[in-house]
Structure 1
Amino acid sequence: MTKQLRTVEKQGPTTKESPVTPIRPNVAARLFEEAQAIELEDATRAGMTGFMGRALVQATLPYREPDRDLPVWGRVAGNTSLIIKPGYYANQKTNQLESMGYPYGTIPRLLLAWIGTEAVRTREKHLVLGKSLSEFMNGLGLTAQTGGKNGSITRVREMMKRLFAADMAIVRGEGKGGGDFASSKFSIAEETALWWDPQKPDQAGLWQSTVTLSDKFFNEIVSTPVPIDLRALKALRQSPMAIDLYCWLTYRNFSLRAPTTVPWEALKLQFGSGAGAEKKFRETVKRALQQVMEVYPAAVTPTKGGLFLEPSKTSVPRLIKDW
């Protein structure tokens, strides 16, 4: 049985409530199962604590695929921007350099959670991705492994290449005129080696598939990690916005000391997927938030002005001093 998220809008002395679209039965069943497990045992005791890098929680990746010919893509959150430039490869048929495309959707977010978790756990930049592609995908929470052009095996390999080859930057302030300005360029990976055979995902490769994280990205993860419950990510894996909202809410609750309202305009800059109607964006956020509340019942309420947040427990208990 799912919790019914309600939109609360104050209108003088009365309160207007409007329900959001119910969660689909198959999604509701998955959320309920994980919510039960989370309620019975917290992430630390269950060994399901994971970590995300703070920068990519504050400014998020694309939800849908941007145009491959777009030379740069950006997302703005307040005075902070995430800028992404895609990697390139040599097309042997045309002898031309072509864009690999941008990392987008759920899979890069699951990859970032796996990378962050392993980096914090091992304190190593050089990460072994697993004996086989199938083993690695299980670690991401992708148990339905399908082949073909649009299958999950193909999409995981494609998104790994896009994510690890891209160049990124966090920019604060304005690039023109006066005022403060700061820019920090980084890439996720310094070196990547993928030796798995996509036709035989259960078979170990002749060499280990590995990724070596860049110094800047590695240092940020281990110095300012955002603790998350990996079971929540598994439950939310079909909605990249739900994943982002979940990570953002638990991150905010680590420092939130007083009630606050985050305006819809600010949320649209951070989580919006392009220029679209604000009403449609609000409904999208409410649907995603309804899923999040199943696995992380934070004190958050959609209002006419934005998302009203009250200090509440974090998704992962505050038990480790380094957090």
Structure 2
Amino acid sequence: MATAKSTADPRKLTRAEKLIDASAKIMDMQPEGRDMAFTHAVLCQVGLPRSKFVGREFMRQSGAAWVNVQAGWIDEGNGPVQQPIPYGALPRLALAWISTQAVRMKCREIAIGSSASDFLRMLGKTATGGKTGSFSMLRMQMHALAACRLQLGFKGRTYTDQPVAQFDAWLRDKDHRQKSLWPGVIVLSESYFKSLTEGKKAVPLDNRALLALSDSALALDVYIWLAYRLHDIKGKGVTLYWKSLREQFAQEYRGKNSDKDFKKRFLPALKKALAVYPTARVKPVTGGILLLCSPPPVAYKE
């Protein structure tokens, strides 16, 4: 039965309403055109830190896949400034959006809007000022993402690069929305671009789902992982226990109750991801979850 389409502005909805609205639209209509998004295959298995990371190098490993993120430097107008490791939902959304444009336009030079407000809107974020507002967070995370060096490894092959080859710093001023200070363009490195457009490393996603999950880095990671994993499962499915799930998604959880603590965070994130991936077949079992073969949220092209 068809679901009624919502005409509400998604930026004005609560988090719960945004999720319900996106779920209804996804069940009602297959993704097409602007609903299509892409991200790198290795980042579907192991992702960036979800919370602020203290240190200059971050490593996460899951099975045969691993990612190493090294913080870099950005010239902010008066020489080099050390950048942190990118973390949270914003760099995930930005990298997916940039990767999507690269796949769609077949071009390394990506337009990122005429202003910071414009780019935030494209990422499903509300523009807010102040030290803890979305403008300040976007500036910090975009500089960190542009400066960082990534190593992605899987089954004997290592890919090493900076995804961003050129980024003009977003200079500080009293009003971060000033258009003249927004770079407007970001240039991907040739090797990262080729891995997306020629190396079959671009995993198709539903952008409506990404926008609905934009407030939770963990829910984004779970959705992207399921989108990559479920359609390749064979036979009676794969059971994953809490220890292995924690090692993949939350190696920072340590101590006596680490699996239990992780489970409390993971299950709500899984519920959100499944709300915008209605064809996913994931069942709770004793000690973990069962993954069953499911159609991808966006069909792969032959």
The bucket for the TM-score relative to the shorter chain is 0.7 to 0.9
Distance 1:198 1:114 in 2: 26
Distance 1:189 1:92 in 2: 18
Shift of 1:171: 3.5
Paired residue for 1:236?
213
Paired residue for 1:193?
168
Paired residue for 1:13?
none
Q: 1:206/1:285 Cα in 2 relative to 1: closer, same or farther (>3 Å)?
A: closer
Structure 2 unaligned runs (5+)? Answer: 1-12
Would the aligned equivalents of 2:38 and 2:96 in 1 still touch at CA under 8 Å?
A: yes
Distance 1:286 1:270 in 2: 15
Shift of 1:199: 4.6
Q: How do 1:162-311 residues align onto structure 2 when only pairs under 5 Å count?
A: 162-172=144-154, 181-194=156-169, 199-200=174-175, 203-205=178-180, 209-222=184-197, 223-258=200-235, 259-276=237-254, 277-297=258-278, 298-311=280-293
Structure 1 unaligned runs (5+)? Answer: 1-24, 174-180
Q: 1:57/1:199 Cα in 2 relative to 1: closer, same or farther (>3 Å)?
A: farther
Paired residue for 2:21?
33
Counterpart of 2:42 (choices 55, 71, 79) is 55
Shift of 1:53: 0.8
Alignment of 1:66 onto 2:53: yes
- Of structures 1 and 2, the larger Rg is shown by 1
Shift of 1:271: 0.6
User: Which protein has greater RCO, CA pairs closer than 8 Å, 6+ apart?
Assistant: 1
Paired residue for 1:146?
128
TM-score under structure 2 normalisation? 0.85
Distance 2:184 2:173 in 1: 13
Alignment of 1:102 onto 2:102: no
Q: Percent identity?
A: 30
CA RMSD, Structure 1 to Structure 2 (Å): 2.5
- Residues 222-278 of structure 1: CA deviation (Å, up to 9, x unaligned): 232111111111111111010011011011123223311123222212211503311
Aligned length: 283
Q: How do 1:303-322 residues align onto structure 2 when only pairs under 5 Å count?
A: 303-318=285-300, 320-321=301-302
Report SS of the residue matched to 2:66.
Answer: strand
Distance 1:210 1:198 in 2: 19
Would the aligned equivalents of 1:261 and 1:305 in 2 still touch at CA under 8 Å?
A: no
Would the aligned equivalents of 1:54 and 1:220 in 2 still touch at CA under 8 Å?
A: no
- Residues 133-168 of structure 1: CA deviation (Å, up to 9, x unaligned): 2111111111x2111111101101110010110011
Q: 1:90/1:208 Cα in 2 relative to 1: closer, same or farther (>3 Å)?
A: closer
